[in-house]
């Protein structure tokens, strides 16, 4: 029954003998489906109980979806199964074993914004020049080290003075977080890894329990997540990993595509499977995507195919400027709608979020409803974070991030001088700001006006603490809003902004109450702590109002995992896509190409590409060249939209005429007697002169004369 409705390749994967399995699953090939059915298969064949399964994803959305699909397939709740994100699972482990992990019981989670503020404070505390050592860069550096599993003591400055300062900042930041009981996202993973590495009995316990570990989007794992999985799986466990190296687009945040290549070496007796039949797109779209991605040298190699027909050719529009581009897209969407289609079937994908502005203007003018994905999410809003900071400080007085945030919000006469004094005192006594404030009050170390303002603040927090102690999140948030007078504070903000902030605060109270009523969400740590963790780990939807029928606007990155009938890929220009910052380095360029591949493979029926001959960006003028990716698409799949337009045919890759009967295509998998399996990267010449460039998995990239090579289609 779990094998019903699967194709042969999927069935083979789902029912593969227990052991380590890597599934190279192309876009739209049913990757999550296979993962979910594998879980059901484990259970229905009696190999394990739900209790013995751990399934990991990257986003809460994916985890939620997976949970739902497992439950509906099994027809009952998943019980003791763990399904969650890497961070969520790490958090769960750390809450359960906080002592062994060296954390205070009520440690709090620092999100990226909190982290950056904290890093800034640390840099100032070290009396370093902020313009010389930008907090953003230091934060970046710290996270990159943690993602590699490196603590300050593992790092060597190699005599480089600026590196020396970075390490110094990292060390000071770490000390600060330890004092304040704060754990950032990367730290969750690092501590969870260290817990497994250093507490052998704990590790053994979880190894015994989770004999079957499953990971989605495996190409997005970073070094630390990979190392953690290796520890957990050990010798006796089994790892079932699903991923697509061609869709690895997050190396900038530590993702290691190489983890897919390493898999077979590191996990004993690992089996590799491929899922290449695509159920989403037309033949034309897949051929275009295959040809594009074939230009990448570092891949495991695969070629998507479909049983469906060819469909329409890929359209290309050369716009005069970004306004013309937007108008063209808007017209197309309007036409789609008039032809009986829906707005929501149309997605406009772009490289950088700044591109959305002009698109939005024109869509608005054209009366086309739209929705922009990305941007601030609910729990990231300033007013929400303010309110939660009151609760956090009331729960855990040492939370310096919360203290800094609300000590003078709303303004209560605690200014820079007072805060500077508290920071210095806190550093001197190696304690928190709260402790410094208590000492300052006790020794009367400030002018009486400042002392009285500070005293009021301390009492205020104390008061909330009294109320919060025995109450759930709903009451706690209410108490914080009341005592902090945040509604009054935001009411003063002019215009709609203040109004929406107050609405958000009301919504926060609702969310807290609802959370309180659902015991499933509380875990073992109590409703209030669970709610605070929930707010930090799941920042919520971008927009609560999922409007009816809207055109969808988003970056290529946020489009991953989604699909649309019609995809508009705009801004196909050198410098923008591939982006300037990524076009120098070969590895980064390949990632840009994968991003383009992701964009193309989002489309079910039709892809439209556009580029502008003239573009204003950041207030300056550009006359960009068309993107090199356009030239990498086979000419016969393309169609110029503008009649008599100046788009030259030469823009596209001419498919070389290979000798009769040979017919090798770009991106095709081939077999060579000596070099083994490879992918066709390039084709040139005619007849007996015809040559192909093939990237062999084992032997690397080679040019071969077809007449002698004896290549076979694989």
Partner DNA sequence: AAGTGAGGTCTTTTT
Partner DNA sequence: GACCTCACTT
Nearest distance from residue 664's CB to DNA, in Å? 32
Does residue 602 carry a catalytic annotation?
yes
516 three-state secondary structure: helix
Catalytic residue among 211, 593, 602, 665: 602
List of residues 6+ apart from 430 with CB closer than 8 A: 179
- Report the nearest approach of DNA to the CB of residue 570 (Å): 14
Q: Tell me which H or E stretch contains 210.
A: none
Contacts of 379 (CB under 8 A, 6+ apart): 385, 388, 535, 536, 538, 539, 540
User: Segment near DNA (CB under 7 A), from 154-162, 286-294, 531-539, 567-575?
Assistant: 531-539
Interface region with DNA, contact rule CB under 7 A, candidates 192-200, 256-264, 411-419, 427-435: 411-419
Of positions 154, 462, 469, 581, contacts DNA by CB under 7 A = 581
Report 356-385 residues binding DNA (CB under 7 A).
Answer: 357, 374
Is 321 a binding residue for DNA by CB under 7 A? The answer is no
Q: Is 47 a catalytic residue?
A: no
Task: Map the footprint of DNA across residues 442-501, applying CB under 7 A.
Answer: 450
Residue whose CB is less far from DNA, 59 or 277: 59
Angstrom distances, CA of residue 130 to CA of 83, 112, 123, 136, 165:
42, 18, 7, 10, 12
The Cα 251–Cα 244 span in angstroms is 14
Cβ neighbours of 229 (radius 10 Å): 24
Nearest to 289 by CA among 330, 246, 251, 250: 246
**Looking at 231-239, 543-551, 577-585, 601-609, which segment touches DNA (CB under 7 A)?**
577-585
Q: Please work out the total of residues on this chain that contact DNA, with binding judged by CB under 7 A.
A: 46
Could you confirm whether 247 is annotated as catalytic?
yes
According to CB under 7 A, which residues from 53 to 112 bind DNA? 58-61, 85, 87-88, 111-112
CB of 426 to DNA, least distance (A): 17
The stretches of 234-380 forming alpha helices (DSSP H) are 258-266, 283-293, 322-338, 356-365
- Cα 28–604–644 angle (5° rounding)? 135
Phi, psi of 625 (to 5 degrees): -80, 150
Q: Which stretch binds DNA (CB under 7 A): 97-105, 502-510, 580-588, 604-612?
A: 580-588
Task: For the segment 190-219, give every residue that binds DNA (CB under 7 A).
Answer: none
Of 42-50, 331-339, 579-587, 651-659: span binding DNA (CB under 7 A): 579-587
Residue 554 CB, nearest approach to DNA (Å): 7
Sheet holding 238-243, edge to edge: 82-85, 53-57, 212-215, 238-243, 21-25, 271-275
Q: Report the residue from 269, 354, 517, 586 that binds DNA according to the rule CB under 7 A.
A: 354
- Decide if 216 is catalytic: yes
Helix (H) or strand (E) holding 606: strand 603-617
Q: Does 415 bind DNA (CB under 7 A)?
A: yes
Q: Is 32 in the site for DNA (CB under 7 A)?
A: no
Restricted to residues 106-145, the positions that interact with DNA (CB under 7 A) are 111-112, 130
Give the tokens for residue 645. 């337009």
Quick check: 408 binds DNA (CB under 7 A)? yes
Among 76, 154, 197, 253, indicate the residue that binds DNA (CB under 7 A): 253
Judged by beta carbon, residue 75 or residue 416, the one nearer DNA is 416
Select from 99, 153, 416, 584 the one that contacts DNA (CB under 7 A).
Answer: 416
Phi, psi of 436 (to 5 degrees): -65, -40
Choices 15-23, 206-214, 416-424, 494-502 (CB under 7 A): range interacting with DNA? 416-424
- Among the listed residues 383, 392, 384, 374, the one whose alpha carbon sits nearest the alpha carbon of residue 183: 392
253 versus 642: smaller Cβ distance to DNA? 253
Choose between 154 and 253: whose C-beta lies nearer to DNA: 253
- Any catalytic annotation for residue 156? no
Tracing tokens 């902004």 back to the chain, one arrives at: 497
Active site residue 217: yes
The answer to whether the CB of 212 falls within 8 A of the CB of 238 is yes
Q: Which is nearer to DNA, 492 or 649 (CB)?
A: 492
- Nearer to DNA among residue 70 and residue 556 (C-beta): 556
Q: Which helix (H) or strand (E) holds 108?
A: strand 108-110
Q: What H or E segment, with its residue span, contains residue 674?
A: none
| Region near DNA per CB under 7 A, out of 6-14, 74-82, 405-413, 519-527 | 405-413
Please check whether residue 522 is in contact with residue 514, taking contact to mean a CB–CB distance below 8 angstroms: no
Q: Say whether residue 629 binds DNA (CB under 7 A).
A: no
Select 42 or 577, whichever has its Cβ closest to DNA. 577
Least Cβ distance, residue 598 to DNA (angstroms) = 12
**Closest CB 60 distance from DNA, rounded Å:** 4
Q: Is 696 helix (H, G, I), strand (E, B) or coil?
A: strand
Minimum Å gap between C-beta 69 and DNA is 17
Question: Residue with structure tokens 């052991």?
Answer: 19
Considering the complex, what minimum distance in angstroms separates the CB of residue 131 from DNA? 7
Among 306, 555, 608, 695, binds DNA (CB under 7 A): 555
CA 427 to chain centre: 35
* Nearest-angstrom CA–CA distance, 553 and 350: 8
Q: Which is nearer to DNA, 583 or 693 (CB)?
A: 583
CB nearer DNA, residue 32 or residue 588: 588
Which of 363/694 has CB closer to DNA?
363
By C-beta, is 74 or 359 nearer to DNA? Answer: 359
User: Does the footprint of DNA cover residue 185 (CB under 7 A)?
Assistant: yes
| Residue 262, both tokens | 């390493």
Tell me the helices (H) and strands (E) count for the chain, helix number first.
27, 21
Give the separation between CA 433 and CA 255, rounded to whole angstroms: 36
Choosing from 221, 247, 601, 668, the catalytic residue is 247
Contacts of 625 (CB under 8 A, 6+ apart): 573, 574, 575
**Beta bridge mates, 222:** 255
Question: Residue 187 CA to chain centroid, in angstroms?
Answer: 17
Contacts of 290 by beta carbon, 8 Å cutoff, 6+ apart: 303, 304, 665, 666, 667, 668
In whole angstroms, give the CA distance from residue 324 to residue 267. Answer: 53
Cβ at position 579, least distance to DNA in Å: 5
425 makes contact with DNA (CB under 7 A): no
Strand partners, 315: 608, 639
Q: Kindly give the residue spans of alpha helices, DSSP state H, lying in 584-648.
A: 586-600, 628-631
Which residue has tokens 């929501």? 344
CA atoms within 13 A on the CB side of 33: 18
217, 386, 516, 574: which is the annotated catalytic residue? 217
Closer to DNA at the Cβ: 228 or 652? Answer: 228
Q: Which of 147, 184, 187, 216 is labelled catalytic?
A: 216
Nearest approach in angstroms of CB 707 to DNA is: 42
Instruction: Report yes or no: 193 and 228 within 8 Å, Cβ to Cβ.
Output: yes
Q: How far is the CB of 129 from DNA (least distance, A)?
A: 9
Closest CB to DNA among residues 10, 555? 555
Q: Which residues bind DNA (CB under 7 A)?
A: 58-61, 85, 87-88, 111-112, 130, 185-186, 249-250, 252-253, 351-354, 357, 374, 408, 411-418, 450, 537-539, 554-555, 557-558, 579, 581-582, 588, 592, 618-619
Active site residues: 31-32, 216-217, 247, 602
């Amino acid at each position: 029954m779990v094998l019903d409705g699967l194709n042969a390749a999927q069935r083979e994967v789902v029912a593969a003998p227990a052991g380590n399995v890597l599934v190279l699953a192309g876009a739209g090939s049913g990757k999550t489906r296979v993962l979910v059915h594998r879980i059901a298969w484990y259970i229905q064949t009696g190999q394990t109980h739900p209790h013995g399964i751990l399934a990991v994803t990257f986003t809460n959305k994916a985890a939620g979806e997976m949970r739902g699909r497992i439950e509906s397939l099994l027809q009952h709740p998943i019980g003791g199964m763990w399904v969650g994100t890497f961070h969520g699972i790490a958090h769960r482990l750390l809450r359960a074993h906080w002592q062994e992990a060296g954390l205070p019981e009520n440690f709090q989670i620092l999100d990226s914004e909190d982290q950056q503020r904290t890093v800034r404070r640390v840099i100032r505390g070290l009396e370093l020049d902020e313009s010389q050592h930008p907090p953003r860069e230091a934060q970046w550096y710290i996270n990159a080290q943690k993602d590699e599993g490196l603590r300050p003591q593992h790092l060597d400055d190699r005599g480089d003075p600026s590196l020396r300062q970075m390490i110094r900042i990292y060390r000071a930041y770490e000390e600060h977080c330890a004092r304040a009981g704060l754990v950032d996202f990367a730290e969750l993973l690092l501590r969870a890894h260290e817990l497994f590495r250093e507490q052998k009995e704990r590790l053994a316990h979880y190894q015994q329990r989770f004999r079957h570990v499953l990971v989605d989007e495996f190409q997005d794992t970073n070094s630390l997540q990979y190392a953690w999985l290796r520890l957990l799986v050990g010798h006796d466990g089994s790892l079932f990993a699903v991923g697509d190296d061609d869709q690895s687009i997050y190396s900038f945040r530590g993702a290691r595509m190489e983890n897919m290549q390493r898999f077979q070496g590191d996990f004993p007796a690992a089996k590799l499977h491929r899922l290449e039949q695509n159920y989403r797109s037309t033949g034309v779209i897949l051929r275009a995507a295959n040809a594009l991605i074939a230009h990448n040298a570092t891949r495991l190699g695969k070629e998507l195919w479909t049983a469906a027909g060819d469909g329409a050719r890929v359209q290309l529009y050369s716009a005069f400027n970004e306004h013309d581009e937007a108008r063209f897209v808007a017209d197309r969407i309007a036409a789609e709608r008039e032809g009986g289609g829906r707005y929501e079937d149309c997605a406009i994908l772009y490289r950088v979020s700044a591109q959305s502005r002009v698109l939005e203007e024109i869509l608005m003018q054209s009366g086309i409803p739209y929705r922009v994905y990305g941007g601030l999410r609910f729990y990231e809003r300033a007013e929400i974070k303010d309110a939660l900071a009151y609760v956090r400080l009331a729960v855990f007085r040492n939370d310096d991030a919360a203290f800094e945030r609300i000590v003078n919000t709303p303004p209560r006469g605690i200014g820079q001088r007072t805060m500077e004094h508290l920071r210095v005192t806190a550093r001197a006594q190696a304690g928190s700001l709260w402790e410094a404030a208590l000492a300052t009050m006790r020794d009367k170390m400030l002018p009486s006006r400042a002392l009285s303002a500070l005293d009021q603040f301390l009492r205020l927090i104390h008061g909330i603490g009294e109320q919060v102690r025995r109450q759930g999140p709903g009451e706690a948030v209410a108490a914080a809003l009341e005592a902090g007078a945040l509604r009054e504070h935001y009411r003063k903000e002019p215009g709609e902004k203040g109004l929406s902030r107050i609405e958000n605060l009301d919504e926060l109270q609702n969310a807290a109450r609802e959370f309180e009523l659902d015991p499933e969400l509380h875990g073992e740590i109590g409703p209030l702590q669970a709610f605070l963790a929930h707010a930090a780990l799941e920042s919520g939807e971008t927009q609560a109002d999922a409007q009816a029928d809207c055109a969808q606007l988003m970056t290529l990155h946020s489009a991953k995992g989604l699909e649309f009938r019609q995809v508009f890929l705009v801004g196909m220009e050198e410098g923008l896509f591939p982006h300037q910052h990524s076009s120098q380095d070969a590895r980064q360029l390949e990632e840009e190409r994968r991003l383009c591949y992701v964009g193309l493979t989002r489309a079910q029926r039709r892809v439209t590409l556009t580029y502008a001959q003239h573009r204003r960006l950041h207030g300056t003028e550009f006359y960009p060249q068309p993107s090199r990716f356009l030239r990498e698409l086979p000419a016969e799949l393309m169609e110029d939209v503008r009649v008599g337009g100046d788009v030259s045919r030469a823009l596209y890759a001419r498919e070389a005429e290979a000798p009769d009967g040979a017919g090798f295509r770009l991106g095709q998998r081939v077999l060579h007697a000596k070099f083994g399996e490879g992918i066709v990267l390039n084709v040139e010449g005619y007849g007996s002169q015809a040559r192909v460039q093939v990237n062999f998995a084992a032997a690397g990239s080679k040019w071969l004369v077809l007449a002698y090579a004896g290549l076979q289609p694989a």
